[in-house]
Amino acid sequence: MQPTELGRVAVLMGGTSAERDISLMSGAGVLQALQGLGVDAHAFDPRDQDIAELQRQGFQRCFIALHGRHGEDGTVQGALELMGIPYTGSGVMASAIAMDKVMTKRVWRAEGLPTPRWVRLAPEQQDREAVMAVPGVLGLPLIVKPPHEGSSIGVSKVSGAGDVGQQMQDAVRLSARHDPVVLCEEFIEGPELTCPVLGEGDAARALPVVRIVPPEAGYDYENKYFTDAVQYLCPSGLSAEEEAEVQRITLAAYRTLGCRGWGRADLMLRARDRRPFLLEMNTSPGMTSHSLVPMSARAAGISYEALCLELLRTARLGH
């Protein structure tokens, strides 16, 4: 199908999540790429327009460049299903599960896939006694994060140096500002990796692995998107066997969740035994100038424009 035959396309960007600014950057890149290829593409911000306008304005398919809640969590996907407008990326169920890091880990653990040990703290389990019990279960250091956010928003590392109790309380409070449920996770010491996937089911394929080398300040929101302090290595520098194992686990994690279209798994490679551990699956990955799916695609010989077009061509309904 030629670009001009894809019909009137809405690039969904912005939205209402904490990742709004990143989504606007992703959407702008996608929009420019699609328009440059001759696609009749238009920006659409669900924060500023009623989602039903998509149907009223005659859009025939949607490229979802929304990140986080009300964009990556199955809600927009459900609305598009009801309106009968095909869309890029995973369907309602896979999007909803992948947006919930605790549920994702439960599914992966049930399927025998490696993910760091965790403790879930519901709102009624965040008193000092319950919070102080977590390091005894997971050890130190550990990670505290909101399970329904991305882009490192609300994430803390509790190192164990100094007043652990105060560190834990501060980390839980920060996370709880973004999500009533708090996820505490075992810290895996070693290289941080990410691996994108394109396609669906048996036809899904893993792209080259990217190794992330953060500065001493860490791989936080600011360094992810607004500085050049982070090094991204693609080729990753892993051995051929390690790269293949990361890709194998990523594909298994993607298929287990029922993802389609595209996605990106974040992983840690444990230094002491070189074993990979799955952290999360992103079902609407970033498409900014700092984003990792376009970087990996380039290493596989796929340009940014070709990637956007390939993803748009996969747009469909769940049923």
Mean pLDDT of the residues in the chain: 94
Active-site residue, from 282, 284, 291, 296: 282
CATH code at 97-114+188-313: 3.30.470.20
Predicted local confidence at residue 224, as pLDDT: 53
Which two structure tokens, joined as six digits, stand for 140?
A: 């130190």
Active-site residue, from 15, 17, 19, 89: 19
Predicted local confidence at residue 319, as pLDDT: 74
Which two structure tokens, joined as six digits, stand for 109?
A: 């653990």
List of the chain residues with pLDDT < 70 = 151, 217-227
Per the annotation, the verdict on 186 as an active-site residue is: no
pTM above 0.85, yes or no: yes
Predicted local confidence at residue 285, as pLDDT: 96
End-to-end CA distance of the chain: 21
CATH pick for 118-186 out of 2.10.60.10, 3.40.50.2300, 1.10.3720.10, 3.30.1490.20: 3.30.1490.20
Identify the burial level of 292 via C-beta atoms within 10 angstroms of its C-beta, where 0-12 means exposed, 13-18 middle and 19 or more buried. Answer: buried
Where are the chain's structural domains? 3-88, 97-114+188-313, 118-186
| Closest residue by Cα to residue 207 from 220, 195, 191 | 195
Per the annotation, the verdict on 282 as an active-site residue is: yes
Query: What single DSSP character describes residue 193?
Result: E
| Closest residue by Cα to residue 209 from 196, 191, 190, 199 | 196
CATH pick for 3-88 out of 3.40.50.300, 3.30.750.200, 3.40.50.20, 1.20.1070.10: 3.40.50.20
Per the annotation, the verdict on 232 as an active-site residue is: no
Per the annotation, the verdict on 151 as an active-site residue is: yes
